[in-house]
Chain A
Amino acid sequence: MRSVKKFDYYILLEKITPLIAVIFALLVGAIVIMLIGENPVFVYKTLFSNAIGNRDGWGNVLFRATPLIFTGLTVAFAFRCGLFNIGGEGQMYIGTFLAAWVGFTFTNLPAFILIPLCILTAAAGGALWAAVPGILKAKTGVHEVIVTIMMNWIAASLTFFLVLKFKAPPTEAMIAAGVKQMIPHTSEIAEAARLPRLYTILKFLNIDFPSYNQVNISFLIAIGAAILAYYILWKTNLGYEIRAVGYNPLAAEYGGISVAKNIVLAMVISGAFAGLVGTNEVMGFKYRWRQELFTGLGFNGIAVALLGKNHPLGVVLAAILFGILNYGGAIVNIFTEGRIPRELIMVLQAVIVIFVVISDEVVKRLIRQRRKLV
């Protein structure tokens, strides 16, 4: 007879390790806040009450969670194939730029063609950029971690070149003031390429929601992408093969599954998710490409995927948590007049990652010991 009850307790523990990690990280954050000389209770209260205490806060949280869902899926999907795609940043750059390019070039197309075209281009751009490390890994065995990082920097340079080539003409106000573009950016995309904000739908459903809130249809695309990732991974042959390669490439190869083909496909799909960030950043928010050095969205996707245990549902939840931390952190920054820099949130995210992996291992070990004892 096995002592089933005790065992279930540990399985439950394994499921909630991310929660434990988050609590530990918040404690670490509290210590840092105290060291700065601020009150952690006040800081956390400000953070959470502003982020999730009202509808406007929730809107801002979901707006910030949207790109993180995409980049989280990027990392999680590749990880299911045993690959570390930490090039989400670069894939996102290429996809987003291309979406903007389509948006401001084919301005006379109607919305029902232009919007899908922009979305597909964004995905294709990311997929293309991720295909390079995928092919190199499959053909020569070069580790994808280094190549994806190098591709990030190459993407940053390439988009910088392109943004100067497609720079928006100076506006009349700028000519009058005699100033140049501070941050290089392209022209705005066509009206027909823009995604409506979420409040238009909520208004239709008779839900009161502020019209200035930036959360847009891209959030629904992100949820759709998560469902698609789940469907591909667990309901199709391709997903089965990708996961088989991730579990054990040698066994998969022996079973007749092409490791090389699945590595490339997993990278391409993973990169497509990163490219879709463009739907939020360009089509739903800025309406143009602005050249900035690394937004950090791609890198935060790693933390989101780990916290979400590389499962699409987990990724969505983790992205929303990070959305809360990011938006709340920005509010705290304003409330404390900059005494608590918003980068505290970045530090917390890294601490969460370390605690997630450590607590995962500890719980695994506990379960193993348990099994031996029983």
Chain B
Amino acid sequence: MTAPLTQRQIARGRRRAARRRNWLIFRTHRSGVVGLVVLSLFILVALLAPLLVPHDTIEVTKATGGILEPPSSEYWLGTDQTGRSVLALCIWGARISLLVGLLATAISIVIGTLIGLMSGFFEGWPARFLYRFTEWFLVLPFLLLALVMSAVLGRSLAIIILVIGVTSWPSTALLIRSQTLSVKERPFLERARALGAGRWHQMTRHILPNVMPMVFANTTLTVSIAILTETTLAFLGLGDPTRVSWGSMLEDAFDVGAMTTGAWWYIIPPGLCVVAVVLSFNLVGQALEETVNPRLRGR
């Protein structure tokens, strides 16, 4: 005779079933699936980069190609102004661009969720202050803020990640806050409170799981923004010059005059990579959102 399932097992079973359901719904969105496939491809390439293309290939001191050569059988995407293969640079650039995007998003989500939860859940002036603070942050000219922070703190990869994370949390915070506000009024939460649940317990055990699906969908969109931001910062000259990213490739291409010299192989591929990855994240995010928010599904 099987033992009766515990409360936790029931909950877990329910969640598993919900996830399976969501996956089935997600699968019906062709665009989302396409996005997922493309993303997986890029992530795979980024992870396997050292195997595909040894690090030597992108070191300036070991460059063997000619200067800004067009694509040939040896260099499929041509060379850059120091003789390195553009294809190798794209592959290694994927690592940095994806890394920065994901880590910066992680920071942004953590800060945003925390602040959003607190300002939505708590009453009184701490919550209002947090809300004001979020609003005020949203009002600052983001790019200028990023420029200033980079100028002050320097240009290492860690700084760039920090800068992007710290300047993009407000939208997450606002989203979480509005979600929290609506979840807060739901009956099951009142019941938990009546049963004596403490504030922390309410936040983590009740509100957070209900808010998580939205957060998840929001995350993919935040990543796409983070990657675009990194590319823009690198283009403006704020990236880490010792690392190759798609943004720094475009910056070099622009500085070197790719338009005049006609080096289309230097300008187009990195841009296309960025578009592909960001688009995939957006597609996945949209499909996720439609999965999670029934109102947006077909009539």
Say if A and B assemble together: no
* B interface list, Cβ under 8 A from A: none
